[in-house]
Structure 1
Amino acid sequence: MEIKKSDDRFIPLRKTDVIQACIEMDNLPKESVKQFQLLCQLIISTIHFEYHQSLEVLKDNYAPFDPNSDTQSIKVFSEDELKAKQKVFAKAFSQVLNAANFEKITEQDLRDALEEESLFKVRLFVEFNDFSEMVFYRRGEYPKTETVKKWWGLKKDTVTFTNYDKVAVYIKFKGKDYFEQHQKPISHFEPGSTIIKLFQNVPKADLEMLFPNSEVRMRTIDKAIIGGSAIAGGAVVLVTKLGASLVVLAGLFSFWLGLSDQSVTISSQQLVILGSGIGVLGGFIFKEWSKFKNRKLRFMKALSDNLYFKNLDNNAGVFHHLIDAAEEEECKEAILAYYFLDVDGPMTSGQLDTKVEAWLEHKFNMKVDFEISDALSKLLRFGIVVKQNHYYHALPLVAAQEQLDSRWDSMFNC
């Protein structure tokens, strides 16, 4: 199976596959394989415990802003306390995303998305003034090719575009006073609330559809199609259906405006003709309006269908996805860094970084910007790697196990 290449920090492998790939290189003596597996399990357990604490920080500080909360708060927070919680939450959320190797999407990327044509042919409008804070993060950026239909399915084109594996959205709405002052309707959100969303498989050109207040707008070509159809249909109705009614109306208006001295007497037959003409005109207007509304409804369905299959989780539920992703990345980085220091001996940070990136490219055909500083800082903090004269040395497997085991016991000491 071909694995897509990536130029970001994300390692698109499961940690269990990384451990197995290390074992399969046969650089470890057979009697050391079980020791290495046990050490990996200790690393995974240690990181899992640390991120459980991070999860609790996120949940506690997000609780006052969660629009989907099903629990009641026993405390009323002051404005200053809410601001402090928002600040702590934003910092912790950013740290988890960074640990999960997400990259911040720049304002220029968002502007490009709004200017580029959507892949599912829907034009969206976003009112950015509704937000007091707005940050997008992405992971797994790569080119993707798809076949799209044009001209009602008569033509097919192949398009290549930038795609994101995962996109996390962090948006805080402005307060109630803003929406009341601008007389803006509030339907799908609470003023002042903070929403968190996680999506998958998102084209860069379609980032605008992830905004909670995006509105479907007709494209110029759609307006032209509907307008052209209405003009052509109106001309046919005018000539074939309303001719007799227009003659009666023209005579009446000419007499009333003094353009003609000839009085007009409307017979019952002419009243029938006039009434039927009005009925035909009303039916035509209703038909064209229905066509406009139905076309817009089709666009809204296309938008909702896309979001339905791309949405992974919302608000507090996103934390569990991201914490798990952060744990996976932290474990893979620590395990790979320790493994190569253990089997290949002491190395500098640059040498180890090159070693791991070259192995990933050779073994899995993937280019990854390995987070060497993050990996080494974890191993130094765990005490299973030491630094001497710019070189990093891995403790032997048994000593590393004892060190992590001792560290684990000390976590619960009062």
Structure 2
Amino acid sequence: MQRKGISPSGFTFSSVLNACARIRALLEGKQVHATVEKSGLLGNNVVQTALLDMYAKFGFVLDAQRVFDAMEEKDVVAWTAMICGYTKVGLMDKARCLFNAMEERNVVSWTAMVAGYANYADMEAAKELYDRMVEKNSIAWLAMIAGYGKCGELSEARRVFDEIVKPDASCWAALVACYAQNGYAKEAIEIYKAMRDQGVRVTEVAMVGALSACTQIGDVHVAEALVKNIEEGCCDRTLFVSNALIHMHARCGCMEQAWREFRTMKERDVISYSTMITALSDHGESQEALVLFSKMQKEGIKPNQVTFIGLLNACSHGGLVEEGCELFDLMTQTLGFVPLNEHLTCMVDLLGRAGHLEKAYNLIIEYGSPSDAVIWGALLGACKVYGNAELGKIAATRLFEIEPENVGNYVLLANIYASLNKWEDVERLRKMISEKEKGKFPGCSWVSS
């Protein structure tokens, strides 16, 4: 159109700007903005609203605000677009100020505010507006259910759901995900079954929620039923669904099915590889996990911290000290990841089992949290195996500070001293253990005898 020298109208510009917003074409959107200024149509209300909406959807709230401030006439669409821009980046105070200043509000304005508060887990503010909504819609219901789910308030999420006369697929999916994410796996499966019984379309979110719930309980029969649903075409076999399937199969002990799903995937991401590497590690297939990591690197997929937890676990289970140290260096030195406690626990366990106690201790001092009982516990356990009283005492002292009531730590240190015939130290610890045991409340039963 431009090459033919045909001058675009305001409607043309608004259509192109809307397209830029939909496909995340920021550079092109800015170019259109410059063309709008040259054309003299910048004062066109429809074009201004389209510009404002585009910048707001990109999260460029300062640009959106400039367009908004320059508008001589602001209708409810413009106000709502600006509110959506602020809620998108979490500036809820600014969004609320605009909302309060609006003379006219529509269902989109109300929904934007409710969803904004819910997305940032301010459920008190979300509920206050939600209760005032005259006309509620699926987006508001979905936001409230998901928001309560994030906060672990399942009874409130269920209350919102039960108030809906005819919940749609997205609301059902949100409820399944809500229960699954909070560890109520059996309830999530029951909700999924009820959803199927009522003939509601199964969305990707609902299926991933059901697969996650099945993974938690490790029920092979439920797993088979879910796979059958997918095979029958109840939902698209997306990347997220396939990743969840791999995880479920692995947790249910069906590694052959996990491999089959992984190999038949049209595309794989870091989650696909990390899930499969973790599965191989959990099933003791350490070398296979390392081979798969090499393939991941060849495909140019960058690992994340979860990938390295799986890899270091594999090395720990397989006693692959050299490989584990190389991977830890790759993670920390080359890729620049700050090791999590899970990484350090794997490394301390790996080095401890191989007798490299000093190296394990130095790793804790360099990277570890002084208050993590699991890491120090791994070192203390290794010290018991190799009879290292000096490091064992250091680890035990830290554990006494972190969890003073855990008698097991005193017992481990006493056993180290006993193996070295240090009976005075053993006797001293036994007295401490006795004192700890006396301090405990005696057990009792509420069952009548």
Instruction: Please confirm whether the aligned pair reaches a TM-score higher than 0.5, indicating the same fold.
Output: no
Structure ranking higher in strand proportion: 1
TM-score bracket relative to the smaller structure: under 0.3
The structure that has the greater radius of gyration is 1
Q: Give TM-score, length-normalised by structure 2.
A: 0.21
Structure ranking higher in helix proportion: 2
